[in-house]
Chain A
Amino acid sequence: MRVTFPHMGRIDIPGYTFFKRLGWDVIIPPPITKKTIELGSRYAPEFACFPLKINLGNMIEALELGAEVIFMAGGHGPCRFGYYGEVEKTILKDLGYNFEFYVFEPYAGRFKKFFQPICQLFKYEKNLLKIYNAGKIAWEQGKAIDVITKSVYRIWPREEIPGTTKRLYQSAIAKIKKADSVSTIRYIVDDTLKQLGEIKIKKETPLKVALVGEIYAVLEPYMNFNLEDFLSDRGVEVTRTIYITDWAEEQLIPKKIRQKKKIGHHEESKRFACGYLDHFVGGHGIETVGTAVKYAQAGYDGVIQVLPFTCMPEIVAQSILPSISRDYEIPILTIIIDEHSGQAGLITRLEAFIDLLQWKRSKKEVC
């Protein structure tokens, strides 16, 4: 049994661990390249959102390597994500591939639907404890990557010797990938955080930018042209507002069971978005608007919204962001990405944006 699943950020690491520990062969799709995008765009509907096309490219490449089972996440609307699986499956079948396809859907008050794919898993793996343990380590890895990533992008723009943080980051990720117990992973996290704390940093505060938008565009560096690294290298602190484990927690665990005292990202965004966007619109629409307001209030220098071309919730958000920009006098850059986007154009825009922020900051300091 060779299983596979599409890429999104560093999800390959916990994903690999999980399935491997169940004793299956895992075929991680080759890293996303131009070819992946070409394959995806060739067979996907022209106006489907870009993540669907990349997913499809991943799946085709994995099937070519011999994958037999595909796992995918799903949803119940109102966004398009809920039909990704159905569309991808249909296209792959039409292309003549042979495979099994399972969609994990968030719990939506329906036990049967939620547990169906999990029960399918049981067809192959009956040991519940084994599944639990595999899940636990995978989760811990995901958490660890997120925790470290958060610190990394705070230190990186401030580092005195360029490259220090990145090196440390990469070695930490490599270690987490290899780690095979919860305690090892925790040790790596503590150790990395300590080392990050020892990196020599500059005194002045860097420009601060909040990164908001559609989840795939935010999380997948190939899609956003490594925006976080690019800005960090230029001394801009990027605060990413979406982390996969935070999101998964909100999606998978029913509200009632989640820690009462901690208000979720969604709830918080809703409060901040009030007056600009008064209702959820699927995807991360309200999170985009809410966090833009939150960081504008927190005195950030700018906001960057990334979204796939034709993304519905983000189009709603996009038409609202100019009002926030005006009210808080904060520059907001919207970046729309699809298979035709080029890195060169983006870099020019980002550089111009940084210049604008710098200029605004210097004006503020004078007054």
Chain B
Amino acid sequence: MEPVVGIPRALLYYHYNWLWENFFNFLGVEVIVSPPTNKQILNNGVSFSVDEACLPVKVFMGHCFEIKDKVDYIFLPRMISGKKREYFCPKLMGIPDMVKNNLSNLPSLIIPTIDLSKSKRNLYPALFEIGKMLGKKEKKIIDSYNKALKIWEKERKQKVLETSIQPKGKGFSQDKPKIAVISHSYTLYDNYMNMDLIKRLQTMGVETILPEMLPSWAIEKGLSTFNKRMYWSLGRRIMGSAKYYFNHPECIDGIILLVAFGCGPDSLIGELIEREAKRIKKLPLLLLTLDEHSGEAGLITRIEAFIDLIQRRKKVG
């Protein structure tokens, strides 16, 4: 019997999904991903976390609780850094320990440390550790990883829309307002957490541009106009895309900045972005904060008002 590995559908799963899933599949291990967030998962997460934790961490806790009795292992990578001199947020670094200390009756935990801040080669010991726990040979591990990586990179490339960043992009209809939604992937793609924001925007007749659609050169170009080096990997995408749009306001009609309640990095990054938007006055910006009590009605009212504002500006301009 092959062991079953569980992956919580939360936090960085939304970024690395196929990479992780395929890696285990190629290793010949069965993978169970917890179901999309629902009320039950959120409530469990809230009750097993300290009050002060951010919403995505609480949701993560709920997903761990959801799958812990259905699997032999839970995959809980400790994400320190994906690149030189960059870091994930302190809570992502500490999440395995938070899970260990707050949930009981856990299955075995696979906790490789992914820290590429000094060297890319640090990835291999982490992979071997996973393999050892599952009793797999080193060659098989590397092969599976490389295969999974290739697929994942291809998928990601397909998402990038070069057209999206050309002035009033071709391929996008001219009269529809174009709004860039900037956020962490685990807030943006967890439809329960964000109350289906993207679909809502689209049915309201908005062209949405998601962070993954912006090519990395644009992100880097945006970041190069930020005073301090951005050391949060996830913050890079957020700050970089906002900066890029501020420098090229003709590309889009507005920005929605979606942040989770209790997010540390975003409390500062969001402030800097909001202030810049106010200062340059070229792009309307809406800051939406999600918490476990967010109501749909309030959200809809705010989006509608924002779209109205953009429509009016379009008519004038």
Contacts and interface: CB of A to CB of B under 8 A. Distances in A.
Interface string B244-264: 000000000000000000111
B90 A283 contact: yes
Contacts, number: 118
Interface string A78-92: 111011011100110
Interface residues of B, number: 38
A83 B272 CA distance: 10
A322 B50 CA distance: 11
B201 to A, nearest CB: 25
Interface string B261-302: 011110111111001000100000000000000000000000
Interface in B82-98: 85-91, 93-94, 96-98
Interface string A46-80: 11110010000000000000000000000011111
A80 B271 contact: no
A78 B50 contact: no
Interface string B213-242: 000000000000001100110000000000
Nearest to A309: B52
A80 B230 CA distance: 11
A46 B90 CA distance: 20
Contacts of A191: none
B93 A47 contact: no
- Chain B CB within 10 A, most for which of A49, A312, A322: A312
B80 interface: yes
A348 interface: no
Nearest to A113: B229
Interface residues of A, number: 42
A52 B94 CA distance: 23
Given A87-B272, A276-B101, A315 B91 contact: yes
A78 B89 contact: yes
A175 interface: no
Contacts of B265: 80
B98 A47 contact: no
B166 interface: no
A82 B101 CA distance: 29
Nearest to A286: B94
Interface in B171-227: 227
Contacts of B228: 82-83, 85-86
Point out which of B87, B232, B267 has the most chain A C-beta atoms below 10 A from its C-beta. Answer: B267
B279 A94 contact: yes
Contacts of A283: 90
B22 interface: no
A126 interface: no
B88 A322 contact: no
B53 interface: yes
A77 B85 CA distance: 9
Given A47-B262, A86-B272, A319 B231 contact: no
Contact of A282 (B52, B90, B97, B227): B90
Given A45-B267, A91-B275, A320 B231 contact: no
Interface in B58-99: 78, 80, 85-91, 93-94, 96-98
Looking at A52, A83, A280, which has the most chain B CB atoms within 10 Å of its CB?
A83
B102 interface: yes
Contacts of B49: 319
Interface string A26-54: 00000000000000000011111100100
Contact of A285 (B90, B227, B275): B90
A278 B272 CA distance: 33
Interface centre among B93, B94, B269 (most CB of A within 10 A): B94
Interface-centre pick from B52, B97, B269 (highest chain A CB count, 10 A) = B97
Contact of B78 (A49, A52, A279): A279
Contacts of B263: 47
Interface string A298-338: 00000000000111110110111011000000000000100
A138 B111 CA distance: 45
Contacts of A76: 85, 231
A277 B264 CA distance: 20
B149 to A, nearest CB: 24
Nearest to A44: B271
B101 A319 contact: yes
B97 A312 contact: no
Contacts of B80: 279
Interface in A225-240: none
Contacts of A278: 78, 96-97, 111
Contacts of A179: none
B113 interface: yes
A91 B271 CA distance: 9
Nearest to A78: B87
A77 B87 contact: yes
B52 A78 contact: no
A22 interface: no
7 contacts: A47-B264, A48-B268, A52-B268, A80-B268, A94-B275, A283-B90, A313-B94
Interface of A: 44-49, 52, 76-80, 82-83, 85-87, 90-91, 94, 276-283, 285, 309-313, 315-316, 318-320, 322-323, 336
* Minimum-distance CB pairs A-B, first 9: A316-B94, A78-B87, A77-B231, A45-B271, A47-B267, A282-B90, A312-B90, A281-B94, A312-B264
Interface of B: 49-50, 52-53, 78, 80, 85-91, 93-94, 96-98, 101-102, 111, 113, 227-228, 231-232, 262-265, 267-272, 275, 279
Given A90-B275, A316-B91, 5 more contacts: A45-B267, A47-B264, A76-B85, A313-B94, A319-B101
